[in-house]
Amino acid sequence: MKDHQTPEPSRYDLAVIGAGSAGFSAAITAAESGARVALIGAGTIGGTCVNFGCVPSKALIRTVESVHHARAAARFDGITAEGRVTDWAATVAQKQTLVEELRGAKYADVLPRHENVDYIEGRARFADDGRLTVEGAVFPAARIIIATGSRPHVPAIPGIDEVATLDSTSALELSALPASMLVLGAGYIGVELAQLFARAGVAVTLVSRRGVLPEAEPEVSAALAGYLADEGIRLVRAKGYEQVAQRDEGVALRLAGGEMLMAERLVLATGRVPNSDGLNLAAAGVATDARGGIETDANMCTANPNVWAAGDVTGRDQFVYMAAYGAKIAARNAVAGAAASYNNATMPWVVFSDPQVAGVGLSEAQARAAGHAVVTSVLPLDAVPRALAARDTRGLIKLVAEAGSKRLLGAQILAPEGADSIQTAAMALKAGLTYEELGDTVMPYLTTVEGLKLAAQTFEKDVAALSCCAG
């Protein structure tokens, strides 16, 4: 891996700012097209997903699932088991070993395989005359892709700057578990962290303004909230936050109306902010929205025709696979003169709670807002043989279709193994299937994905009247 602090003038066809998933995707894609590429990174190589997000969180979620499954083993007659955390520091150290292995295998060790990509360690920004600089030195490049990612959002609560808060990064680095924890925000990050630490033995209070997963289907949100409460997580709805303060016994959060919540630690899970500030984008003619997301057209190009952007810094679809997808489009358009368009119509998404939540396409509310005449199907998981055999019927499947044409518009799954089934729904939407066609698709018996077939049949049939594999 070559490291050039002072590159030769006009040496690069493309400069990619940001060495995370989007940056690597853009750099490799451009290099494969024959371009000479500078990948400019500041900080830990690999970005958020491998270092602070997807990998560490999912590793620890899977770890504490083993504890929960042991405790839940009594649902099977004749089975008793016990699980508990005995050395959290060792658990976190094992997680970190995985992070470092994947950082090497998927990022640092990948660059030497691409001779026309140079890694430049340094902080990039635009000078007042619009030229790109790295550590203050002008850095000539024909085209530029910005892929600087995002960071945890800090809400504007009086007193927040004086409190030793945790975020989705630092919470996963704790070597010792606190006795209690307030998790502020019940989106996908807040839900995952709340359940993770509750299963590890922490007394967790999950606080939010709009409830659990407010963007999910209401049936899914309500059911998951019930399951979290069943595990001992206290759920609190707040109209607002008046003040937060550090006290000897922990953190005190006063809600609008006067209610006071106390815990040893406070975790902020209130969304993420694009890393667009500090780049002096206005000087380069690059526009941002009200939240700081870089505005792009369908081709990932900014208001500056020589600058593209991809990934979390655009403020949309903040998933690692969408960052990589958007970066490939940006790179092809930037260096190969292509006109590929970004399309998230069949983008699957997953929340790694237990049961997992996964979705694709339009929700019922989104479909109606888009002007569709809508029909829906809701199938409880106790109608799915796989769930019955596992003696775990937590969850449901909801399908949304267009009335008349019967074309599928969206799907959401709440199930212990729901994440691995959503891609089937995504492919059905991509193929433009009707719910009749999905219901006629052959699927393996005693699988969670068979629930999609049953949910499709539920539009017009009573699946309770069908035999196994019938229809």
Q: Which residues are annotated as a binding site?
A: 58, 148-150, 185-192, 271, 312
Please tell me the distance from the alpha carbon of residue 10 to that of residue 12, in angstroms, as a whole number: 6
Residue 441, classified by CB atoms within 10 Å of its CB into exposed (0-12), middle (13-18) or buried (19+), is middle
Q: Is the dihedral of CA 107, 109, 113, 115 positive or negative?
A: positive
Identity of the amino acid at 14: L
In 10 A of CB 160, how many CB atoms? Answer: 18
Annotated binding site for FAD: 58, 148-150, 312
For helices 422-430 and 450-457, the axis angle rounded to 10 degrees is: 60
Q: Is the dihedral of CA 331, 336, 339, 343 positive or negative?
A: negative
Provide the CA 304 distance to its chain's centre, in angstroms: 29
Phi then psi for 106, rounded to 5 degrees? -100, -10
Q: Is the dihedral of CA 192, 195, 201, 204 positive or negative?
A: positive
Annotated binding site for NAD(+): 185-192, 271
Q: Which of 388, 390, 399 is nearest to 422 (CA)?
A: 399
Phi then psi for 93, rounded to 5 degrees? -65, -40
Please tell me the distance from the alpha carbon of residue 157 to that of residue 1, in angstroms, as a whole number: 44
